Structure 1
């Protein structure tokens, strides 16, 4: 098979795995949330806790990914995770028991970690070994396509099916996505060299750099999860926007689909950290627009900004992690995602509590924007640390040359 064809098939496997694990298993809960509240008796606080359980599953999966070094085992767990994604989606439609729903959301979180971390790590490892550009923009388009696709499916099927039948329809869609997600990803290569024989060496960051990086990524997790989980319900509660939440969620997916490719191009010109700072600032604007300005136009523009930035930040961070650890990319990816995932457990539960006390989820957006401001300041500090450390590494070489 020609090398370029093989590369496209590997990237396509990643795209389909993310549509399945993130779009169907994980993010379909967001457009389904209002329907489940109307038809299945799901309460406001319970909705927040289910989201928190989902992110707990994701965090557990990230912990596993950070501890496993063997590529063959990662490949096996990735494939199991894709099957779990379908099963957890079907489980949502089988009952109205909140405990079973919580189990489903936890399993969906595990499966999304398998796609997001194990699958991404395997694909990045393949790209590096075959000496392709180690950028994940095309791969991460699957998240935006998954969000937009599931929002469109829920919007269309909502006219014909009840909430249970919709979960089963989403499971059937997942079965179709499963085929290329498994068949087009080659078995991993455990050798320590690239295709041309160049050794692959890990270059881990300094402890200070890693601590600041993880703290900033925690803030990004808070900024992401509130909108990703509650934006449909938030928009539906805004004056004059009842019933428009799914349209806004669809706009998030539309904004996210090309975002990672765009941020790869920006990072080539500015560097990853400068690109992350720009994305964080734009994401704050996107989070606040629906509630600070109001109206459908502001909500849609905010959704496009949010979709176009949150996944770009994830892509940039995980690409950087893979470059630090080319022989085992999922190691640092898992550690970073532990920080991101911790935020995704705390923020939905806190947003549910705020919703009870303030009569709606909108207060959560202000919380998310405030935490993102802190994260942006941490990114500026991280850039300063990187410059100092780079100067410290370069100075001895300069002295020796003189």
Structure 2
């Protein structure tokens, strides 16, 4: 990998006059739009839609599952496309689709319309996470920069912050659920412009040198299984954390603050996880992230206090971002010829978790009146993810020996 990195520094890179910081900023704006608005804005608006538009727990979970079905469809499409020109085009089309999906939500209190919007928002999220991340990582590798995605994935944390602060501001304006969505559309317009101006240049065709070093099938299968567990842990809190906090009698009205804390902790955490991975190794960093996310899931169930809820939100924000950024960057570095395609293959398992987990959690909550059972199940799935990382670490130690 170091040899590939050195070779890349001497290659001619078509930058279209863009600096690496501009490409990174454009990628961050794309993540805020496609993930923060087209996907994550649903979380803080969900309680309002339940109160004002008659959306039930089961249907709320089902709409989230439809969103993640769109995400998985986008991941499958990204995994099938090799042509760098088409990957670049689909990336921007995905950003435009994110704005359209957001604008569809307030048109009417119609479940079919909402389902279509959530599906298109999922497609947009896949474009931002996979096509955008692959294009940015490839640009950085060709430009001789450190092949890490910590800076790029600031967009995930900032997307949560934007959705949380936006929802809180619109609450102060006494806007209804539809007004919240129109507010997010207004926020999305300048983000789309920045994404277009500073989009990553079309990469050159993969060379033989850059195509070398692909991960083994065995390694990839274990990593896919581990990323499924990470996806399960991510989606339950990403969908229901505000609702879970709001339903605790002593914490009513504090849900948006918990969501804001998730974003505030996720934004700087990407740098911390990069440093942890450099010092202790990628798999050890992933082990630590899994362990801390288990604590974030269990802590609010052990105590109904605001401190426990906010600490859980803080740990969740800091860990889900680490699991995503470390895993995708690791797989992308091991597949330098087409990092976005490798990320997309891995993300299909993440998408399966995102489709199944929220629908199951919503149905369990509606049947029992509580999210406790689904949270315990999430903790168990994350524990399996830790065991998989231990297995991968053992395989790599054996290979090195």
Tell me the TM-score normalised to structure 2 length.
Answer: 0.94
Matched, 1:176 2:186: no
| Counterpart for residue 44 of structure 1 | 57
| Unaligned ranges ≥5, structure 2 | 1-13
Q: Kindly indicate whether the alpha-carbon contact (under 8 Å) linking 2:18 and 2:198 is maintained by their aligned counterparts in 1.
A: no
Matched, 1:121 2:121: no
| Counterpart for residue 54 of structure 1 | 67
Q: Distance in 2 between matches of 1:50 and 1:2?
A: 40
| Counterpart for residue 248 of structure 1 | 258
Distance of aligned partners of 1:4 and 1:249 in 2 relative to their CA distance in 1, 3 Å threshold: farther
Distance of aligned partners of 1:192 and 1:213 in 2 relative to their CA distance in 1, 3 Å threshold: closer
Bigger mean CA deviation after superposition, 290-299 or 90-99:
290-299
| Counterpart for residue 199 of structure 2 | 185
Aligned-residue offset at 1:362: 3.1
CA deviation map 1:2-59 (0-9, x unaligned): 9997011011011100000000110000000000001111111100000000000000
Any residues of structure 2 matched to 1:317-328 within 5 Å, and which?
317-328=327-338
| Counterpart for residue 377 of structure 1 | 387
Q: Kindly indicate whether the alpha-carbon contact (under 8 Å) linking 2:67 and 2:121 is maintained by their aligned counterparts in 1.
A: yes
| Counterpart for residue 341 of structure 1 | 351
CA deviation map 1:114-153 (0-9, x unaligned): 0000000000010111111000001000110110111111
| Unaligned ranges ≥5, structure 1 | 392-402
Q: Number of matched residues? A: 387
CA deviation map 1:215-272 (0-9, x unaligned): 1111111111100100000011123011111110111001101111110011000110
The runs of at least 4 aligned residues of structure 1 exceeding 6 Å deviation read 1-5
| Counterpart for residue 359 of structure 1 | 369
Matched, 1:79 2:92: yes
Aligned-residue offset at 1:364: 1.8
Residue 288 of structure 2, aligned match among 249, 273, 278: 278
Q: Kindly indicate whether the alpha-carbon contact (under 8 Å) linking 1:286 and 1:303 is maintained by their aligned counterparts in 2.
A: yes
Q: Distance in 2 between matches of 1:356 and 1:207?
A: 40
Q: Distance in 2 between matches of 1:92 and 1:191?
A: 39
Secondary structure in 1 matching 2:82: coil
Q: Distance in 2 between matches of 1:273 and 1:334?
A: 20
Residue 21 of structure 2, aligned match among 8, 11, 30: 8
Q: Kindly indicate whether the alpha-carbon contact (under 8 Å) linking 1:233 and 1:361 is maintained by their aligned counterparts in 2.
A: no
Q: Kindly indicate whether the alpha-carbon contact (under 8 Å) linking 1:61 and 1:110 is maintained by their aligned counterparts in 2.
A: yes
Q: Kindly indicate whether the alpha-carbon contact (under 8 Å) linking 2:57 and 2:363 is maintained by their aligned counterparts in 1.
A: no
Q: Kindly indicate whether the alpha-carbon contact (under 8 Å) linking 1:203 and 1:325 is maintained by their aligned counterparts in 2.
A: yes
Q: Distance in 2 between matches of 1:238 and 1:343?
A: 26
Aligned-residue offset at 1:159: 2.6
Q: Distance in 1 between matches of 2:104 and 2:373?
A: 31
Q: Distance in 2 between matches of 1:316 and 1:116?
A: 13
Distance of aligned partners of 1:344 and 1:386 in 2 relative to their CA distance in 1, 3 Å threshold: same
Q: Distance in 1 between matches of 2:59 and 2:334?
A: 40
Q: Kindly indicate whether the alpha-carbon contact (under 8 Å) linking 1:72 and 1:187 is maintained by their aligned counterparts in 2.
A: no
Secondary structure in 1 matching 2:211: coil
Tell me the TM-score normalised to structure 1 length.
Answer: 0.94
Q: Distance in 2 between matches of 1:186 and 1:124?
A: 10
Q: Kindly indicate whether the alpha-carbon contact (under 8 Å) linking 1:19 and 1:146 is maintained by their aligned counterparts in 2.
A: yes
CA deviation map 1:48-104 (0-9, x unaligned): 000000000000000011111111100000000010000000100001110110000
Residue 177 of structure 2, aligned match among 163, 174, 179: 163
Bigger mean CA deviation after superposition, 275-284 or 150-159:
150-159
| Counterpart for residue 64 of structure 1 | 77
Q: Distance in 2 between matches of 1:60 and 1:77?
A: 13
